[in-house]
Amino acid sequence: MDLIKQLLEKAKSNKQRIVLPEGTEVRTIQAADQLIRDGIADIILIGNQEQIKKLATELDLKNIEKATIADPLNYPKKEEYTNLLLELRKSKGMTPEQAAKLAEDPLYIGCLMIKNGDADGEIAGAQNTTGDVLRPALQIIKTAPGISVVSGAFLMFTTQKQYGKDGLLLMADCAVTPDPTASQLAEIAVATGNTARALVGEEPQVAILSFSTKGSAKHPLVDKVIEATQLAQKLDPTMNIDGELQADAALVPSVGSKKAPDSKVAGKANVLVFPSLETGNIAYKLVQRLGAAEAIGPILQGMAAPVHDLSRGCSVNDIYNMVAIAANQAIAAKQK
Ligand code: ACO
């Protein structure tokens, strides 16, 4: 896990403002305390001030007093954020009353803080569903310029050192887009390759997966992966991207050389792109549970600012690491 150490060091060297909208959730406040103690980020907690203080006292969290606390019902920029939200969403039919109500919702406030330049990234989802975390982010922060689709990648630290970078692989989309079109799948492939470049510092070898390798099966689902591969190769001709590949052809050199002898990626893929959310979500959870891999993510890709959704089963350490990842992405975005 040297990678995480590197990310933590980088975050420390250029502290970013990370907002945690679930400020009264126990694991979140514990992670916040450790993040402040270790100087990883400037933390903004959203939640009732008295409740946060009471929880910090009960849990003996001495560093929480250094967090910025925004009470969702009574924070200084409430009117400004209400107007900002109305401006952004009135063309979608939002009324002033709806905007005022949503400007009291911690998940909306977190995104409005980022949009207004008051925070650099957000981590939520210890308490809320993926949909509830993502919807305000998609509506307010939106996608990065030139990107139309948001997706979620996982860093999978497997015990199988012969694959990827000493067992580390990226998998996507495991979190957001249920049934991507070929062009969305192409964008997801390039975005995941870019995440590998940004976070792992490794040249991506991107395999777009299927149940077929190079024409071994014929089906409209295979055609979608073939089209996505062609589009992805055009989107970034500098990146090694290939498909359609079965998982074994993508990963295992002896299988790759038999099934796809002309492929630059077969047998050495370090980025696995799944054809649908069903396959991606199921696959990463199986690798995590049956393969005893550590899964870090979902790392949202394609959003105009770093927002990450946690699993509701997340640990304090998961939240801590995701803050470091968001901080690194915010630093990288500012250096562009
Ligand atoms: N990329 C970019 N923008 C998107 C995407 C996307 N993938 N999906 C929706 N949007 C935009 C829409 O264009 C729309 O923008 P607009 O209102 O400005 O026009 C806005 O987001 C809202 O779109 P809706 O379609 O109304 O939103 P929806 O209610 O469908 O929610 C969501 C979108 C939350 C991403 C939904 O598709 C979803 O719930 N996906 C599955 C998430 C999930 O459950 N994942 C598995 C669990 S995660 C895990 O296990 C790690």
Ligand 1: centre distance to CA 298 (Å): 14
**pLDDT tens for each residue of 241-266:** 999 999 999 999 999 999 999 999 99
Q: So what's the pLDDT on residue 212?
A: 98
Q: How confident is the model at residue 1 (pLDDT cuts 50, 70, 90)?
A: low
Q: So what's the pLDDT on residue 146?
A: 78
Contact 159, 292 (CB under 8 A): yes
Q: Among candidates 181, 91, 177, which has minimal Cα distance to 139?
A: 91
Q: So what's the pLDDT on residue 51?
A: 97
SS3 172: strand
Domain 151-295 has CATH 3.40.50.10750: yes
Q: Which residue has the higher pLDDT, 202 or 23?
A: 23
Contact 270, 196 (CB under 8 A): yes
Say if 2-142+304-334 and 151-295 have the same CATH topology.
Answer: yes
**pLDDT tens for each residue of 107-155:** 999 999 999 999 999 999 999 999 999 999 999 999 988 789 999 999 9
Whether residue 176 has its Cβ less than 6 Å from ligand 1 = yes
Q: How confident is the model at residue 164 (pLDDT cuts 50, 70, 90)?
A: very high
| 89: amino acid identity, one letter | R
Residue nearest to atom 28 of ligand 1 (CA): 135
Which residues are 69's β-sheet partners?
A: 45
Structure tokens at 167: 């067992």
Ligand 1 pocket: which of 89, 129, 134, 311 to mutate (most atoms within 8 A of CB): 134
Residue nearest to atom 44 of ligand 1 (CA): 130
| Shortest-distance atom of ligand 1 to CA 149 | 1
**pLDDT tens for each residue of 17-65:** 999 999 999 999 999 999 999 999 999 999 999 999 999 999 999 999 9
Strands 151-157 and 294-301: antiparallel
Whether residue 276 has its Cβ less than 6 Å from ligand 1 = no
Give the domain ranges of the chain: 2-142+304-334, 151-295
Whether residue 212 has its Cβ less than 6 Å from ligand 1 = no
Query: For the whole model, what pTM was predicted?
Result: 0.86
**pLDDT tens for each residue of 301-319:** 989 999 999 989 899 999 9
Strands 307-309 and 17-20: unpaired
Ligand 1: centre distance to CA 179 (Å): 11
| Tokens 């002033």, residue located | 96
For domain 2-142+304-334, which architecture applies?
A: 3-Layer(aba) Sandwich (3.40)
**pLDDT tens for each residue of 91-109:** 999 999 999 999 999 999 9
Residue nearest to atom 39 of ligand 1 (CA): 131
